[in-house]
Chain A
């Protein structure tokens, strides 16, 4: 018997936590798809470890969203029992893994944001967000360093690795604008100091990305047209496929546990 989706009341804090939780879960799930398929053993472990950090962050954020909503949901229900239109993650993180260069570029663009983002969020007036940020910041710093090094190795490597890295940057570029998304739901939280205004870290993101791409001999795409939609539930076709695989067990056997 298949089980239906839950309905979530998205107050500003709940929506804010869900958006970040969905980013971390979907990106973590994407990385888990590499498990056993990495280009070498060390990278197989690195991708799985990074995925594990992200899924850990997602669990804390979902748990907080469920607590604030107070409707009897928990981290598992929020992850497994919302359908694609209810997911609030960035389009960037749901993009398919592609080749190793694409996975690294996707992680690099995300981590270049996540690292200064979590560091800034450690000053949040919301003590749960501040606590989650303090853990996530350390992990994000490691992810950013690891993926920056790989961007440079690939971009400044062989003709083939350079071609693939540039293709990955070009393909993903239009999804990076959404990293700085904010809307009316966030306005009150920004005003009260519970969350940061993403514009305050835009310069830092641009600086990190420019410096690494330069060193990697990669070109920053000229177009500044950006695709949006994930934050409001308008996703690419890829997310539905990901969710159908990730949720199949809980949908088919509701409440199944180990």
Chain B
């Protein structure tokens, strides 16, 4: 049985290790940046890491769970468990400022809070992550992964991914 201080150190070590795991589809973002990493629980039975999916069918979740287990094992934490929690539901609001900046630098427009979900042919304003122009248009509501849409900049003519607000 671990004492309280030991538990706290172990929890922090496990959190730090898990927080380094990156999203396999957007390797500049860690799961801590994304808000996918929710909790680390230390009990007598061991260490359990709680993560939440961005989208119900996100295929990256299995890979992320595996990477977390490996990251903890590398820190000497044996047989860590990863559990998926659904509630509260993930939202792009949980993405850190640091995460938004990294996303933009990587060429993906960060999610814009409060952008309309229901308005048909809705006018969302997304700035081009390359040149910063606001003169952009949507090419496809669905992109290369569940969490992205495909846009194009009318100023620099470059296509870019937009991280959908959710």
Seen from chain A, the residues whose Cβ lies within 8 Å of a Cβ on chain B are 28, 41-42, 45-46, 48-50, 52-57, 59-60, 127-128, 130-132, 134-136, 138-139, 141-142, 144-146, 148-149, 152
In the docked arrangement, what's the CA distance between A57 and B120, Å?
24
Shortest CB distance B165–A (Å): 10
- Asked whether A148 and B120 contact (CB < 8 A) given A52-B57, A53-B56, A54-B57, the answer is yes
Residue in chain A with minimal CB distance to B138: A42
Given A45-B142, A49-B146, 5 more pairs with CB closer than 8 A: A42-B139, A42-B142, A46-B142, A53-B57, A149-B121
B86 engages A134 (CB within 8 Å) = yes
24 sample A-B contacts, Cβ–Cβ < 8 Å, listed by A number: A41-B140, A42-B140, A42-B150, A45-B140, A45-B144, A46-B140, A49-B142, A52-B146, A56-B55, A57-B56, A59-B56, A59-B57, A132-B86, A134-B87, A136-B56, A138-B89, A138-B166, A144-B118, A145-B117, A145-B119, A148-B120, A149-B120, A149-B121, A152-B120
Give 4 nearest A-B pairs by CB, closest first. Answer: A56-B57, A56-B56, A42-B140, A131-B87
Main secondary structure of the interface of A (DSSP, over half): helix
Are B86 and A46 in contact, with the CB atoms below 8 A? no
Chain B residues whose CB sits within 8 angstroms of the CB of A145 once the complex forms: 117-120, 122, 141
**Closest chain A residue, CB of each to CB of B141:** A146
Identify which of A46, A54, A56 contacts B53 (C-beta below 8 A).
A56
Contacts of A42 in B (CB 8 A): 139-142, 150
Query: Which B positions have Cβ atoms within 8 angstroms of A?
Result: 53, 55-59, 86-90, 117-122, 139-144, 146, 150, 164, 166
Contact of B58 (CB < 8 Å), options: A56, A128, A130: A56
Inter-chain CA distance A96–B65, complex, in Å, is 36
The answer on a CB contact under 8 Å between B86 and A60 is yes
A131 vs B56: C-alpha distance in the bound complex, in angstroms? 11
B143 shortest CB reach to chain A, Å: 7
Contact A142 B57 (CB under 8 A): no
A134/B88 in contact, CB under 8 A = yes
